[in-house]
């Protein structure tokens, strides 16, 4: 079913389809939703082939086939936290130097998976907007931004920052960054310096508003980049 057809499906149409396959409990909280929530729920329910659900349950739940993986399963190779571990010893300083060299060469980026909400934290909004700083009250996004900026200053480099959103929180995340001028750091009261070149997209969606610029002077004579979350370099 296409999304256009799904959007046009009404409660009266979807309810009997669910009842026929014993899934009517999915509508238990329908009346508690606002109009937008009801519309989105009906859209999602409409695209599922409910008539096939009983066969799926019979085949893959009640009579689930045995699955025996071929060969021997083992954990993927990894480096233990303790560099002196007999399981796989490694040279901590050599690896640190290699990582710092990559940072200085601009070959490292930060990537944040931020598609979830702060529901389990009792927070109504993107999890990254949760004020996690016990003393400062800074949000998770602000903490991440300041850590990345500190690494940029330390290694005199550019570190792009990509933030992945979801349909659930994309608009709220974009608003959060935009309302804070794309999250300039609070430390020292200095705004981040502007980048060279043209601006880029806002978080997670091509064609979003361009980057906003800061008029602050570049630190130490350099002009490392500043942009919103989707391409913050």
Q: Say whether both 96 and 46 belong to one domain.
A: no
What is the average pLDDT score of the chain? Answer: 78
For residues 31-59, average pLDDT: 91
Asked whether residue 98 is assigned to any structural domain, the reply reads yes
Radius of gyration, CA atoms only, the chain: 24
Q: Say whether both 45 and 97 belong to one domain.
A: no
Give the pLDDT score at 66.
82
| pLDDT band, very low/low/confident/very high, at 8 (cuts 50, 70, 90) | low
Q: Say whether both 47 and 156 belong to one domain.
A: no
Q: Identify the domain containing residue 182 by its residue range.
A: 92-231
In this prediction the pTM is 0.54
Pairwise CA distance, residues 44 & 205, whole Å: 21
Asked whether residue 210 is assigned to any structural domain, the reply reads yes
Lowest pLDDT segment from 11-15, 49-53, 206-210: 206-210
Q: Contact 218/226 with Cβ under 8 angstroms? A: no
Q: Say whether both 226 and 123 belong to one domain.
A: yes
Q: Say whether both 214 and 173 belong to one domain.
A: yes
Residue 10: is it exposed, middle or buried by C-beta count within 10 angstroms (0-12/13-18/19+)? exposed
Pairwise CA distance, residues 124 & 101, whole Å: 41
Q: Say whether both 105 and 199 belong to one domain.
A: yes
Tokens of 10: 């009404």
What's the domain count of the chain?
A: 2
């Amino acid at each position: 079913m296409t999304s256009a057809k799904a959007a046009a499906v009404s409660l009266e149409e979807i309810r009997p389809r669910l009842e026929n396959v014993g899934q009517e409990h999915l509508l238990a909280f329908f009346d508690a939703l606002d109009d937008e929530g009801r519309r989105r729920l009906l859209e999602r329910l409409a695209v599922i082939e409910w008539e096939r659900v009983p066969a799926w349950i019979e085949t893959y739940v009640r009579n689930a086939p045995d699955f025996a993986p071929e060969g021997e399963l083992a954990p993927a190779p990894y480096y233990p936290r303790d560099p002196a571990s007999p399981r796989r010893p490694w040279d901590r300083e050599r690896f640190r130097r290699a990582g710092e060299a990559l940072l200085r060469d601009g070959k490292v980026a930060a990537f944040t998976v931020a598609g979830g909400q702060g529901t389990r934290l009792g927070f109504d909004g993107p999890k990254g907007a949760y004020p996690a700083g016990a003393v400062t009250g800074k949000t998770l996004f602000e903490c991440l931004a300041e850590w990345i900026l500190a690494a940029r200053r330390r290694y005199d480099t550019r570190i792009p920052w990509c933030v992945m959103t979801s349909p659930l929180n994309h608009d709220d995340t974009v608003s959060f960054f935009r309302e804070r001028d794309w999250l300039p750091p609070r430390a020292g009261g200095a705004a981040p310096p502007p980048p060279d070149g043209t601006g880029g997209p806002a978080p997670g969606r091509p064609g979003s508003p361009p980057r906003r610029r800061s008029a602050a002077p570049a630190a130490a004579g350099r002009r490392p980049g500043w942009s919103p979350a989707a391409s913050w370099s």
